[in-house]
């Protein structure tokens, strides 16, 4: 799988982890899109994403994010500052 393009809308791939791995403490929701800013230059394999409201989230593995295809955009909604959907 390829890394998302810079500034593309992405989602966090909760299903890409083994079943015994708990991602519930991660700050990502299943139905929410994030803006992928790119890989951190001095931390290869790690990236920066932005949630709605300007919340910056950094240091998660780049390969855990999947770029949203244009035809799938309706399946994702931006997050609010309080973490709830709109």
pLDDT, residue 59, reads 97
Domain ranges in the chain are: 9-78
The answer to whether the CB of 65 falls within 8 A of the CB of 11 is yes
pLDDT, residue 45, reads 96
User: What is the residue-level pLDDT of the chain in tens, covering all 86 positions?
Assistant: 689 999 999 999 999 998 899 888 999 988 889 999 999 999 999 999 999 889 999 999 999 999 999 888 888 876 555 555 54
């Amino acid at each position: 799988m390829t890394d998302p393009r810079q500034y593309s809308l992405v989602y966090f791939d909760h299903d890409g982890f083994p079943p015994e791995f708990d991602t519930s403490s991660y700050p990502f929701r299943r139905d929410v899109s994030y803006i992928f800013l790119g890989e951190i230059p001095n931390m290869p394999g790690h990236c920066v994403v932005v949630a709605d409201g300007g919340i910056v989230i950094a240091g998660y593995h780049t390969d855990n994010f999947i770029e949203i295809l244009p035809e799938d955009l309706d399946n994702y909604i931006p997050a609010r500052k309080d973490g709830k959907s709109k």
